[in-house]
Chain A
């Protein structure tokens, strides 16, 4: 399809993690779009991932800002009334995702559950979607490409999962992801 070309709400946005048969998929040697797309070829729906499969982080209530944060350094310049700004080294960002907690997706022994706090580096994909892709969420023309889409890849770790029991609303959890790379994208397919 193409990048999202209209103003709109990203109601069907998605965060996914790439897996293979032995655990989270290793980052490709070259972080190119083609190599990264290949890791997200088929959605795993039975919690038993195989090569080139990905698992969606489901029931998300709220996404954080996605991207690479700037680190602007102010530089005083002698003799000028306005200081200059230069770009310094950016801090490694972390992001928190709030979701409706469904323990079956995060239990010990499940692919996502075992990632929490493991220190294992994974390949993440965040897809900005204003409408549901009729062909599913794979990084292919027949998946995300069935609707206008814009997506990014990054390496990261799931560092924590905090569950908030709720007496009047859904139980919620907050997962913290620390980024281990720059954010690659934005891509479309």
Chain B
């Protein structure tokens, strides 16, 4: 007897629904998932990584959304902090439900932001990290 879960794909679908949305695209912060290679040349961009490492309850998930923010190095951290604020605006306390009948992804209201210094593979970029915890609640079926 198999039991289809689709929770990991469902979690990604919820997160993609934000970064595909018109309001986010209008913010003009290019945001890619880890493992995606873009041909675009951007002065600032972000790469996100979904870690559902922590166990949730029953059919649910719990984890952290890690986002690396890259801005030009040498101009200070203010722009990176402003980008982190934009991520907060859309993520902190937000709920995403591409299939609300089955599951929702709910982000915590707390988040963290750390300036990491020049990127290891490209010193012209300043790397900083933004992290926010999420819960993926799945209804029992």
Contacts and interface: CB of A to CB of B under 8 A. Distances in A.
Interface of A: 5-9, 11-12, 130-132
Interface of B: 60, 93-95, 97, 100, 103-104, 106, 108-109, 135, 137-139
Contacts, number: 30
A5 B100 contact: yes
B106 A130 contact: yes
Given A130-B106, A131-B95, A9 B139 contact: no
11 contacts: A6-B104, A6-B139, A7-B137, A7-B139, A8-B104, A8-B106, A11-B93, A130-B95, A131-B93, A131-B94, A132-B93
Nearest to A131: B95
Nearest to B103: A6
What 8 pairs between A and B have smallest CB-CB spacing? A7-B137, A131-B95, A6-B104, A8-B106, A11-B93, A11-B109, A8-B137, A9-B106
A130 B135 CA distance: 12
B135 A9 contact: yes
Contacts of A6: 97, 100, 103-104, 137, 139
A9 to B, nearest CB: 6
Contacts of B109: 11
Contacts of B60: 7
Contacts of A5: 100
Contacts of A131: 93-95
